[in-house]
A and B are shown apart, each in its own frame.
Chain A
């Protein structure tokens, strides 16, 4: 009976709990980064995720960025058609669900990290640029924070930073590069 209880809670804690604690939110539209980057069209991250004239990172591109190539559907999928009819032609912005929205008490500058420090996008976003589909975003039912923010795994072992954008990840990278890691560097 001891092992039955042990096995039951291990199953609950490792398999069931992660599904229960996070809610999944689908993206409003599917998008293939893979199609647009690399050997296909060959776009680079900064071709769409640009900076404004003051050097401020714009983030997810507006629909007008898609318009030059997507004024008409370029494929046969429903997503291509919806992109054009629902958004590009109407001028509406796509309500993308952001995987990496930081909490309100945190400040993060792409300009500082990418332009000044020379970090590659993959350093934090990993293989996102080569994905064929947009996975559902997962948010904690308790805190409301994105799973990507506090790590893709549930356990954060300090010596091995998780593949996410948690404070531990920021701190370990700052430490490794000998950069200031004081509280006010990131927190408002």
Chain B
């Protein structure tokens, strides 16, 4: 018998060994161990060892200001979570906020002043000494060149906002700018339609029974987490108090998916739909016509140019043909709004596409008036006033909306580094700058958002590295206030904006204003808290104990103590604001034609319509923390910037397949995009994602994150929601 081992035997041995191997822990454990080994490479930063302790503060990554419980090792934040019972955050944090403490280590963190050098498109950022930057900027401010000095404040109403306005008050031509906001109901709109001057309004969405949302991400980052929680709880209630949400939007957004009903309206026809709904409410007597006629001069004045006359042009049949919504459905929505009150029309707009035009917003407000949805619980309500640290007679310049600013009027623009949550095309800002040698300065902690276009980048302290405050979120129905403390040291050569402005003031004036030079953020915040205390209104939430106390029961020092340790003051529900009357077409007498033409315009005939889509913080630093990186890059749950979703039918017509690289062309330019075929996208529509570009997280100086916004057409009313476009294989 031969003992020779044949080739066949060797193969059997190997086969048996392999079969046996996979039945042992060896390969799996090696895999597991290798993964753990990678966590322990010496160069990977690990949290320091030390005593664990907790502090409370507020998140400043967006204007909402959620309460944050910070787990620290000694004085170094290592973990963030929400605070149970917090009136704003309701115990939760978003994916951006939960890893906000890691942003200080992001590669795009600015550590020293930079100056842009070079011409045209061939520019780069070079380090510059802070003193040299200050001299350059002071010289530009003092120059005889035509144009104003402006500060664009990305989170208005903070104490820093008052400091900006006070600084601009020292200059001859200082302009304080509020950017377009999707959360805020513009003061001009409130005055124009409701005749209330100076009052701030918010949506009491959580107490409504019916919400009709026009393109607003009510269930996807629009309001505070507290509002979101209350809204979703109201949606799951049984019986008559259940909240029902209808989302009117061309895109099948996350809110559209979560709402009770999605009304896929053709882009740009929302105003027509609002008039169609108004038509049904009036034609079927579903509102108090006598009272409306009594309280409004332009409701039904027999001139042929009244609001009622306008609605007559928009019968459900006409509107149905324009919007793509069946006439019966339009009538059904109107009847439901009238039957299930309080009904509320929400119309902020989208974080990527910006707010609606003033004319469209007037039409949405009109719907609220017809439904009687102004003033009380579950409706559009006036917030109580949040005291500021300074008064108008303290030499503050007035607030100006970016929309209202003349083109080519700014010679020096300082852009605040906070995140408004909304994306904004740079071209919208650029058209406000003078044509020759404008200077743009950024106070930002990171090279992201508008900071990427600045000529001078002056690093400011990042999240949790400075003391600041957070006023009422714009969407909220109640005023609130909280402060955020410095919990960590500032990195690099970061400088407080106030200190830089003081230096500017000293350099440009022969006799610097002593009041301004002696200001401190902490002092102004204390003054603001004192003013809240003197109002004796509202409630104070103490995160350390989890208890809420009436302000009238607290002593002043105790209020300061709670506020300095993450507390939140919330106002009581405001009294109903008396309105003398309404102007359905706005106080501007020429509005009839503008509103009519806005509602009657026809989009998308012959060409495709480009619609920017994106979530809160799209295109800004908030999108660049570790968890958002996973959502975008690793999970593919969110589409990266420069991705365009189209209907397969549109794709077939244009010869495009899923994953194809294509060029989107508009009258403003062209962008290279990746195509996604998605049957939920309306034929003829290009849903263009605004957000971090692929691999932007790895680049220190991203270049084309907002390529989509750059090719959007800026309308004369400063909106960029819709753009005629073409797409073809690249």
User: Contact residues of A with B, CB < 8 Å?
Assistant: 1-10, 12-14, 17-18, 21, 56, 103-105, 107, 109, 140, 142-145, 150, 154-155, 182, 184-185, 187-188
Contact = CB atoms under 8 A, between A and B. Distances in A.
7 contacts: A1-B5, A2-B15, A12-B26, A105-B47, A107-B71, A142-B30, A150-B36
Given A103-B36, A143-B40, 5 more contacts: A1-B9, A5-B18, A56-B52, A107-B52, A140-B36
Interface residues of B, number: 38
B95 to A, nearest CB: 11
A54 B52 CA distance: 11
Contacts of B79: 107, 184, 187-188
A143 B12 contact: no
A21 B36 CA distance: 14
Interface in B9-48: 9-10, 12-21, 23-26, 28-30, 32-34, 36-37, 39-40, 46-47
A144 B5 CA distance: 42
A2 B10 CA distance: 9
A142 B20 contact: no
A104 B47 contact: yes
Contacts of A3: 16
B37 A142 contact: yes
B98 interface: yes
Q: Which 4 residue pairs spanning A and B have beta carbons closest together?
A: A13-B24, A5-B16, A9-B20, A143-B36
B33 A6 contact: no
A117 B407 CA distance: 63
A47 to B, nearest CB: 24
Nearest to A15: B24
B26 A13 contact: yes
A46 B32 CA distance: 35
Contacts of B28: 155
Nearest to A186: B79
Given A13-B25, A142-B37, A188 B20 contact: no
Contacts, number: 108
A154 B34 CA distance: 15
A22 to B, nearest CB: 10
A121 B13 CA distance: 49
B613 interface: no
A56 B73 CA distance: 13
Contact of B29 (A21, A56, A103, A184): A21
Contacts of B13: 1-2, 4-5
B25 A17 contact: yes
B46 A154 contact: no
Interface of B: 5, 9-10, 12-21, 23-26, 28-30, 32-34, 36-37, 39-40, 46-47, 51-52, 71, 73, 78-81, 98
A2 B71 contact: no
B49 to A, nearest CB: 8
A155 B9 CA distance: 31
A185 to B, nearest CB: 8
Contacts of B17: 5-6, 8-9
A109 B5 CA distance: 60
B51 A56 contact: yes
Nearest to A143: B36
Contacts of A182: 81
Contacts of A143: 33, 36-37, 39-40
Contact of A13 (B10, B21, B71, B98): B21
A188 B33 contact: no
Nearest to B8: A1
B16 A6 contact: yes
Q: Is the interface of B mostly helix, strand, loop or mixed?
A: helix
A5 B17 CA distance: 4
B97 to A, nearest CB: 11
Given A1-B13, A2-B16, A105 B24 contact: no
Given A104-B46, A142-B33, A5 B20 contact: yes
Contact of B46 (A17, A56, A105, A155): A105
Nearest to A20: B26
A113 to B, nearest CB: 14
Contacts of A56: 51-52
B18 to A, nearest CB: 8
A184 B16 contact: no
Contact of B36 (A4, A7, A14, A142): A142
A55 B210 CA distance: 50
B56 to A, nearest CB: 15
A51 B388 CA distance: 46
Contacts of A103: 36, 39-40
Contacts of A109: 52
A177 to B, nearest CB: 18
A104 B40 CA distance: 9
Counting chain A CB atoms within 10 Å of each CB, the highest count among B10, B29, B47 belongs to B29
Contact of A14 (B24, B30, B52, B98): B24
A155 B52 CA distance: 33
B98 A184 contact: yes
A144 B15 contact: no
B40 A144 contact: yes
A17 B9 CA distance: 25
B34 A8 contact: no
A1 B80 contact: no
Given A1-B12, A5-B12, A13 B73 contact: no
Given A17-B26, A144-B40, A2 B12 contact: yes
Contacts of A10: 20, 23-24
A143 B14 CA distance: 29
A104 B52 CA distance: 13
Contacts of B36: 103, 140, 142-143, 145, 150
A175 B33 CA distance: 26
A184 B625 CA distance: 15
Contacts of B47: 104-105, 188
A83 to B, nearest CB: 28
Given A12-B26, A21-B29, A1 B98 contact: no
A5 B23 contact: no
B78 A13 contact: no
A9 B40 contact: no
Contacts of A9: 16-21, 24, 26
A144 B42 CA distance: 13
Contacts of A17: 24-26, 29
A143 B38 CA distance: 8
Contacts of B5: 1
A122 to B, nearest CB: 25
A31 B80 CA distance: 40
Contacts of A104: 46-47
A165 B52 CA distance: 20
B277 to A, nearest CB: 42
Nearest to B34: A142
A103 B46 CA distance: 10
Contacts of B52: 56, 107, 109
Contacts of A4: 13, 16
